[in-house]
Amino acid sequence: MLGPTRSTEMGYTFIEVTAVLLISSLIFLLVAPRFVHGLADYQLQKSAEALVWQLRHERQAAIAEGTAHQIEFFVFGNKYRLFQPTLRDVPLDAGIEYAYISLPKDQFGRLTLIFNPLGTPNVGGTIALKNKYNQYRYVVVAPVIGRVRLSDTPP
């Protein structure tokens, strides 16, 4: 018996492989920018939620310990400083920066937020974060009650 003929052999031709690669490349080129944009939005949301969590934690710690807790914001350093229990700087995630901070400056020109032992902040205001695609998240601190919330729209 003779072996299989050329027409019955299994495999793909060069044209078929090239067509599949071309279609796959086009799909990748269409999807990749949306993926990168979505990833940047996710990082912004994650950074904003982390800041909200930290502010809420500082407020609760001030109430629990009966001492004031202070947070200082550095607009040009893209970080904030916690003073209790030890001094430490917390940087914002890469690609995330402060758009603006509407907290009034203290007598030394610093942007500080202080929660007193009752959990009331010294001032209220908004901390706006943005990513490289100019998407924003707003961390809002209520002036009297100290409620900290996250918003997609400016207050």
Give pLDDT tens digits for 17-40: 898 888 888 887 887 677 678 888
Residue 72 domain-assigned?
yes
- Per DSSP bridges, beta strands 97-101 and 88-91 are unpaired
Question: Which pTM was predicted?
Answer: 0.79
Grade residue 8 by pLDDT with cuts at 50, 70 and 90.
low
Could you tell me if 65 and 57 are in contact, meaning their C-beta atoms sit under 8 angstroms apart? Answer: no
Residue 139 domain-assigned?
yes
Residue 104 domain-assigned?
yes
Q: What is the DSSP letter of 51?
A: H
Say how many domains are in the chain. 1
Give dist(CA 63, CA 60) in Å, integer.
Answer: 5
The position carrying tokens 């009331």 is: 120
